[in-house]
Amino acid sequence: MNPWPIGKFVSQAHGTNVLTTPILYSFRRCPYAMRARLAILSSQTPVILREILLRDKAPEFLAVSPSGTVPCLVTQDSVIDESLDVMKWALAQNDPDQLLDMPDAGWDLISETDGSFKQALDRTKYAARYPEQNTDEQRAIAGDFLSRLDQQIDQWLFGHVTIADQAILPFVRQFAFIDKAWFDAQPWPNLQAWLDRFLISDEFTTIMPKYAKWHVGDIDFTFPNATDAK
């Protein structure tokens, strides 16, 4: 059974304005925002994309985001403030690639990614923030999880691309580029090929152009564009 039902909505409405197109507050390099953009691209559900700088968050963003983190999706009647909920919202609108067609094990992998793997990733990437932690031990914890992913992958995690692939790949990318030479030297051929395919894919190219920081009064940018290839 899916442990994350669609719609963990945490607040209501975007002021008194009626939104005809949802607004996605995003940050290009954030893996949580990347996974949200991937699902929105897959669903071909248009949103207004507003790029937020994490070190200089727009007051308008903070006014609607309960957590002050990206991604944050503002719809006509709700604010969705968790990345997986944004993904599930998008795929509930349209799921042409059947990304939600996935065994329960996929949800378990996503949960582990967002839990112990992300914790070990942060303690490896931002070691100076965690002086009490042993970086090598944290890298090994992350490596154990990646080794299991490597054994699971046969092109995709479950035979065809699913929400698990989209939810996990941005974090594997983040970990890999802590020390790409070290990552490439590990005995993870399936995992490495999986990541490489992602990095050269049309989907990755489409979600990763550089966006200017959003300011009030800027012309709205719709994502995905009508010309964006899936």
pLDDT for the residue 94: 98
Domain residue ranges of the chain, discontinuous segments joined by +: 9-96+207-223, 104-199
Does the model's pTM come out above 0.85? Answer: yes
pLDDT for the residue 184: 98
The C-alpha atoms of residue 46 and residue 41 are separated, in whole angstroms, by: 8
CATH fold of 104-199, please?
Glutathione S-transferase Yfyf (Class Pi); Chain A, domain 2 (1.20.1050)
CATH superfamily label, 9-96+207-223 = Glutaredoxin (3.40.30.10)
pLDDT for the residue 27: 97
User: How would you write the pLDDT of the chain (230 residues) with one tens digit per residue?
Assistant: 333 333 333 333 344 445 689 999 999 999 999 999 999 999 999 999 999 999 999 999 999 998 999 999 999 989 999 999 999 999 999 999 999 999 999 999 999 999 999 999 999 999 999 999 999 999 999 999 999 999 999 999 999 999 999 999 999 999 999 999 999 999 999 999 999 999 999 999 999 999 899 999 999 899 998 444 34
Whether 9-96+207-223 shares its CATH topology with 104-199 is answered no
Phi, then psi, of 101 in degrees rounded to 5: -80, 90
pLDDT for the residue 146: 99
The C-alpha atoms of residue 112 and residue 18 are separated, in whole angstroms, by: 38
pLDDT for the residue 225: 82
pLDDT for the residue 6: 33
Phi, then psi, of 156 in degrees rounded to 5: -125, 170
pLDDT for the residue 4: 34
pLDDT for the residue 19: 66
pLDDT for the residue 18: 54
